C-alpha cells in the first residue's frame, strides 16, 4: 500500500500492522510511526533526514551557528522538527523551531517577523512545508530584509520558484536536488520522456525518487523468493539496491528509528544563481547518514 503523508500513516497503522500490509510511505515519519513496532512501514524518500546532509555544510563551510526550521504544526511537521533538533544537537548548532498552522494563507509576515528577531543564520523550509508556501515565505523574508542563507527542503520546479518568489528573492537560495548526469539508463530514459511531454522547466526530481519504489519492492520480492509480507519486509534492509537512480542508495536509520526503514539517497547541493540551479560538490549523503543514523 502506498500512503502519502505522516498523519495518514499514523491513522492507518492499526489496520496495516494488524493485517501485515507492507506500506510505502511518502512522508516524514517519526519514531512513533516507524521502527520495530511497525515492521511493515517503510519511508520512500529522505524527508526528515535532509538536515543530515545540510547542517554540517552550513556550519563547517559557511560558519552558521543558528539554524531555523519551519514546518506545519501537525504529525509530519513534528517529525521533521524532532529530527532537525536531533541533528542540530549532533552537529553543534542552535536549533530554532517555528511551527505554523496549515491553511490556505500565503501571508506569513507576522510569523517571519518573530522568527527574524531570533537572528537565524540559516532558515530552512524542511520537507514538510508545501513548496508554494515556502516560496511565498522566501519573498516575504527578503522583503523584511533577511539576507542570510535559505534552504528549500522540498523540491520545487524552477518555473514555480520564479513565478511565486521572483528571481531576486531566490538568488543564493540552496536547494536539494539530483545530478542528472549520474542517473542510470532507466532514470535517464524516464526523465527524457517526461520532459519531452511536459517541458524541462516543470521537471521535479521527486518523480525519479518515487519511480525507484517499484524497483526496490520488486527486488525485495525476488531476493526473498516469496510474496509473504514478513519475509519481504525482512529482506528490504539487507539489500544493495540494483536499480536506484544513483548507486549508494540503501535503507538505513536504525540508530535513530530502531530499524533500517528509511530509503536514504544521495542528494546534490545546488545554489540558485541568476535564475538557474548551479551544482556544487556532491554531498556524500549516504556516508553522512551512516555516521549519525546507523
Number of Cβ atoms within 10 Å of the Cβ of 206: 16
Q: What is the pLDDT of residue 237?
A: 93
Q: What is the pLDDT of residue 50?
A: 75
Residue of higher predicted confidence among 269 and 148: 148
Q: Is pLDDT above 80 for 288? A: no
Per-residue pLDDT band at 157 (split at 50, 70, 90): low
Q: Report the distance separating Cα 288 and Cα 53, nearest Å.
A: 6
Query: 2-47+204-264 adopts what CATH topology?
Result: Rossmann fold (3.40.50)
The owner of cell 519492492 is 217
Q: Is pLDDT above 70 for 19? A: yes
The CATH code of the domain at 51-180+268-293 is: 3.40.50.2300
CATH 3.40.50.2300 residue spans of the chain = 2-47+204-264, 51-180+268-293
Q: Is pLDDT above 90 for 159? A: no
Q: Is pLDDT above 60 for 35? A: yes
pLDDT in tens, 217-244: 999 999 999 999 999 999 999 998 887 7
For the whole model, what pTM was predicted? 0.81
pLDDT in tens, 107-130: 999 999 999 999 999 999 988 888
Q: Is pLDDT above 50 for 281? A: no
Amino acid at each position: 500500500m502506498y500512503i502519502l503523508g505522516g498523519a495518514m500513516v499514523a491513522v492507518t497503522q492499526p489496520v496495516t500492522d494488524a493485517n501485515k500490509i507492507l506500506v510505502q510511505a511518502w512522508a516524514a515519519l517519526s519514531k512513533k510511526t516507524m521502527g520495530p513496532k511497525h515492521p511493515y512501514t517503510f519511508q520512500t524518500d529522505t524527508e526528515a533526514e535532509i538536515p543530515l546532509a545540510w547542517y554540517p555544510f552550513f556550519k563547517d563551510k559557511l560558519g552558521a551557528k543558528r539554524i531555523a526550521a519551519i514546518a506545519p504544526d501537525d504529525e509530519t511537521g513534528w517529525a521533521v522538527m524532532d529530527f532537525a533538533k536531533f541533528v542540530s544537537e549532533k552537529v553543534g548548532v542552535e536549533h530554532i523551531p517555528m511551527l505554523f498552522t496549515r491553511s490556505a494563507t500565503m501571508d506569513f509576515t507576522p510569523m517571519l517577523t518573530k522568527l527574524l528577531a531570533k537572528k537565524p543564520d540559516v532558515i530552512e523550509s524542511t520537507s514538510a512545508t508545501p513548496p508554494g508556501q515556502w516560496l511565498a515565505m522566501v519573498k516575504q523574508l527578503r522583503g523584511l530584509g533577511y539576507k542570510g542563507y535559505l534552504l528549500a527542503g522540498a523540491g520545487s520546479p524552477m518555473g514555480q520558484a520564479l513565478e511565486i518568489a521572483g528571481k531576486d528573492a531566490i538568488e543564493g537560495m540552496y536547494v536539494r536536488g539530483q545530478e542528472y548526469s549520474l542517473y542510470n539508463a532507466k532514470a535517464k530514459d524516464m526523465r527524457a520522456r517526461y520532459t519531452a511531454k511536459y517541458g524541462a522547466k516543470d521537471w521535479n526530481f521527486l518523480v525519479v525518487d518515487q519511480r525507484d519504489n517499484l524497483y526496490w519492492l520488486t527486488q525485495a520480492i525476488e531476493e526473498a523468493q516469496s510474496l509473504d509480507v514478513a519475509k519481504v519486509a525482512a529482506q528490504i534492509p539487507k539489500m544493495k539496491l540494483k536499480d536506484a537512480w544513483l548507486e549508494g542508495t540503501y535503507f538505513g536509520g536504525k540508530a535513530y528509528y530502531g530499524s533500517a526503514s528509511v530509503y536514504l539517497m544521495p542528494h546534490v547541493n545546488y545554489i540558485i544563481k541568476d535564475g538557474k540551479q548551479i551544482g556544487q560538490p556532491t554531498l556524500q549523503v549516504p556516508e553522512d547518514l551512516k555516521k549519525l543514523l546507523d
